[in-house]
Amino acid sequence: MARIHPSQLTDAFTGFTVAAERAVYDKAARELPDEFHVFHDFKWDNPGLADSKTRGQIDFVIAHPEFGFITLEVKGGRCRYEPDLRGWSTID
């Protein structure tokens, strides 16, 4: 079982979008092997960046000592790709 940080979600994580995050949190906890670390609601700060956003939040950072890491931004509901805008949007 992966090591999850924090080890439990607080009661503040309710609602439609957060339900999707909870599903990812629970699945990662159950199905990823021990070598993985899963960081939920990861906040970052880089005051050295000029003319750029210096603070942010990532829904999940999943790290492995051999494979590296991946960041996930979880969305609830359905998404679609908008070719004209070259980006994604939520449908519901």
Rg (CA), the chain: 15
**Per-10-residue mean pLDDT for the chain, 92 residues long?**
83 64 91 96 78 79 97 85 87 68
Q: What is the pLDDT of residue 56?
A: 82
- CA-CA distance, 32 to 36, in Å (whole number)? 7
- Backbone CA torsion sign across 88, 63, 31, 29: negative
- CA-CA distance, 34 to 27, in Å (whole number)? 14
Residue-range domain boundaries for the chain: 3-90
Q: What is the pLDDT of residue 90?
A: 77
